Chains A and B, each alone.
Chain A
Amino acid sequence: MELVKQQRDTASDLKTQEYFVNMGPQHPSTHGVLRLVLGLDGEIITKVEPHIGYIHRSIEKMCEHDNYRQIVHLTDRMDYLSAHINNEAVCLAVENALEIEVPERARVIRTIFAELTRLASHQLWWGVMGMDLGALTAFLYGFRDREMINDIFEETCGARLTMNYNVPGGVMFDLHPNFHKRVKEFIAHFKTKLPEYDDLLSNNVIFRQRTEGVGILSKEDAISYGVTGPTARASGVSCDVRKLHPYSAYDRVDFKEILMEEGDSFARYKARVLEMWESLSIVEQLIDNIPEGDFQAPTKAVIKLPKGEYYQRVETARGELGVYIVSDGGKSPYRLKFRSPGFSNLFVLEKLAVGSKIADLVAIMSTIDIVVPDIDR
């Protein structure tokens, strides 16, 4: 008895020490140059402190010296995975300020491109998510399907990732003759491949164990941290800009806003996979109904916005992107501010990860789906 007591005392005398680990700026699963300072007690995370700014390029400041046509191109480099949607945000802001009527054809083309971009982004996210959890094969499956979308983009506008297809007033060129056929092919192809995604990860026991109940984000926290996009919708916050403030051609298509209740990593995962089905259905609805007509409204060579403040928001693959332009009537903005989804989404990390293990942090970070250039700008 005495011995047992003695042993118990020794066990409680053992001191454990918290230690710090720098995760990043170069680390395989921080998805770029993000640095996380982790406080660890063994494998348990006691503190997460994101340090950002390693890829800051002062895009907002650069915008103050560029004219409105040039600004569109800079936005590509923020969230490079939803490049087209970023372009669209600036174009819409400028068009609203000038009260330009964008031709129907351009609106529909923009919407199709935006949804294809969202699909490509989610496909890449899905692959990387698998890779972060150790399923290396998923990565290449995601990339296989994304390749088809990139080929479609390349055919129409010459670029695969940062397309610069939007210009104030519409789109830069008309569609390539093959576009219709290629998109149809892609829809048919991807409809057979999406169930495969479920087979490989969603229904996998290990994957479910790694994500279910991990990093639960409550509805209240999601709202107070300003989390948007699929990350918030997985916690039950209705925040889809496409639904709440329709722009381009979203008012004429029929799609569901994916809302989940659980708010854990698996809900965030599932929300994105279901969103792929919705995007696919949007593209399917629009592809046969592209109206004839102009693809671009006539605009002046030098665009000058009237004095005032303009705000436009769009739904990128990661959440709500806001463009806030203050114009003094000149050819470049007096001040321009982007409200990027990645920034607000990232800082919820501490709330989610503290108390879980290192491996969970990777899963949480993957389901928040951050793109570092979008956070730093």
Chain B
Amino acid sequence: MFAINLYDFSGTVNSIHQWLNARLTPGWATAAEWAIIGISLILFVAISVIILVYVERKVAAFFQLRIGPNRVGKWGLLQTIADFLKLLMKEHITSKNADKFLFNLAPFIMVTAVFLGLGAIPFAKGLQIFDINIGLFYIAAASSVGVFGILLGGWAGNNKYSLIGALRSGAQVVSYELSIMLSLLTMVVFTGSLQLSQIIASQQDGWWIFKGHLPAWIAFIIFMIAGTAETNRGPFDLAEAESELTAGFHTEYSGIKFAMFFLAEYVSLFIIAAVGATVFFGGWMPFHIDDWAAFNRIMDYIPPIVWFFGKVAMLIGIIMWFKWTFPRLRIDQLLVLEWKYLLPLNLMNLILVSFIVLMGWYF
């Protein structure tokens, strides 16, 4: 009845829609659909975070000549689950002079922001929660809400280290938001649309990273730097610089509230990688070379969902590589990098790209 076609999920989605509408009134059917979407999103986030944390630890171990988790379950696969269970059972500590309401609200803002961001990500052909015409703008807007969580969490905990971390993070996210948006805008000049399905459709005959040659590469590099900064990961993890601020903005958090910050960090890592994969590497679009029909057909045999997650995994791997290699920047150097180097470069790149598109100098 709900045959899953790995190459096009729209059939599956439609059959669920019809099945529900045949049994319920349209209003209840819509409600049921939203419930299904919510549950599957939560499941997806839970599973992907568990996988990401495990991969991060294994990657870190690989970089650091260690073995990594290998005791709980086969190859330590259950280690992350055990850690989350531990965090679930820990005591919720709220320090005495904390602003209790904001202190408890902050982790929820973080999690809500990343869940909103996931809404517009196209996972595979026909597998996207909503496809609005300002998709890219929407994702950027949703993910920048997360900074409120950091600011509130840092301020409400009544801890000086948290406050410093929160203020650093505020300055950082506000600055790097610009770079992310401008580098994506550069690509939008190529694609001609902010809608993510359109962006993917425009890469049918080749990914923008190849078609857009030099400006696309510049935009991609800036996107990766700014994306790493946006997710507060090393070498830009100033908000939680453990050697300076113990744990930065989440110093006072424990138990599941800490886990929510942790979860939000990994989901936003996924979102950044997913946006990068969609805009620069064609999302779920397989790798095609113009006239090689046989080669293209072989590539088409690999389901789009595998392409998408493969690309995301590659970008996440690069961001993890950054973290485990580079030292951390200082706050003024971080802002200098953005305002004096990345932003002018980005603006020039935007002019360059407009020129190239006008002249039609791209493949």
Contacts and interface: CB of A to CB of B under 8 A. Distances in A.
Given A43-B164, A137-B63, A357 B330 contact: yes
B331 interface: yes
A226 to B, nearest CB: 28
A134 B234 contact: yes
Interface stretch (B127-135, B208-216, B236-244, B274-282): B236-244
Interface stretch (A84-92, A182-190, A201-209): A201-209
B244 A135 contact: no
A357 B335 CA distance: 14
A170 interface: no
Nearest to B234: A134
A144 B329 contact: no
Given A357-B332, A359-B244, A362-B244, A135 B65 contact: no
Contacts of B237: 134
Contacts of B65: 140-141, 144
A29 B328 contact: no
Interface stretch (B41-49, B178-186, B263-271, B319-327): B319-327
B235 A131 contact: no
A319 to B, nearest CB: 24
B243 A29 contact: yes
B64 A137 contact: yes
A131 B243 contact: yes
A55 interface: no
Given A19-B160, A137-B64, A358-B164, A210 B329 contact: yes
Contacts of A133: 243, 327-328
A115 interface: no
Interface string A186-221: 000000000000001100101101100000000000
A229 interface: no
Contacts of B329: 206, 209-210
A206 B235 CA distance: 9
Given A21-B160, A29-B243, A135 B330 contact: no
A57 interface: no
B97 interface: no
A210 B331 CA distance: 11
Given A134-B235, A136-B64, A359 B161 contact: no
B296 interface: no
A190 to B, nearest CB: 15
Contacts of B64: 136-137, 139-141
Contacts of A132: 243
Contacts of B25: none
B325 A135 contact: yes
B246 interface: yes
A140 B238 CA distance: 22
Contacts of B60: 136-137
Contact of A206 (B66, B238, B328): B328
Nearest to A363: B330
Interface in A1-28: 19, 21, 27-28
B325 to A, nearest CB: 6
B5 interface: no
A130 interface: yes
A361 B326 CA distance: 19
B161 A210 contact: no
B172 to A, nearest CB: 13
Contacts of A19: 160
Given A140-B65, A141-B65, A210-B329, A29 B244 contact: yes
Contacts, number: 81
B328 to A, nearest CB: 3
Interface string B237-262: 11001111110000000000000000
A359 B331 contact: yes
Contact of B327 (A21, A29, A43, A206): A206
A373 B207 CA distance: 59
B331 A134 contact: no
A240 interface: no
A141 B324 CA distance: 12
B235 A358 contact: no
B164 A28 contact: no
Contacts of A28: 242-243, 246
A360 interface: yes
A140 B66 contact: yes
A271 to B, nearest CB: 19
Contacts of B161: 21
Contacts of B328: 133-135, 206, 210, 359
A255 B60 CA distance: 38
A43 B333 contact: no
Nearest to A133: B327
A266 B238 CA distance: 21
Contacts of A134: 234-235, 237, 241, 243, 326-328
A206 B329 CA distance: 6
Contacts of B326: 134-135, 204, 206
Contact of A209 (B66, B331, B333): B333
A139 B242 CA distance: 14
Nearest to A130: B327
Interface string B304-334: 0000000000000000000011111111110
Nearest to A356: B330
Nearest to A205: B326
Interface string B105-146: 000000000000000000000000000000000000000000
Contacts of A140: 64-66
A109 B356 CA distance: 71
Given A21-B160, A144-B65, A210 B246 contact: no
A207 B330 CA distance: 10
Interface in A108-154: 130-137, 139-141, 144
Given A133-B328, A136-B324, A362 B235 contact: no
A175 to B, nearest CB: 29
Contacts of A21: 160-161
Given A140-B66, A357-B332, A207 B327 contact: yes
A161 to B, nearest CB: 21
- Residue of A132, A141, A144, A360 with most chain B CB atoms under a 10 A cut-off: A132
12 contacts: A19-B160, A28-B243, A43-B168, A132-B243, A133-B327, A134-B234, A134-B235, A134-B327, A137-B324, A210-B333, A357-B331, A358-B164
Interface of B: 60, 63-66, 160-161, 164, 168, 234-235, 237-238, 241-246, 324-333
Given A134-B328, A204-B326, A206-B333, 17 more contacts: A21-B160, A21-B161, A28-B243, A29-B243, A131-B243, A133-B328, A134-B234, A134-B241, A137-B63, A139-B64, A140-B66, A204-B327, A206-B326, A210-B328, A359-B244, A359-B328, A361-B244
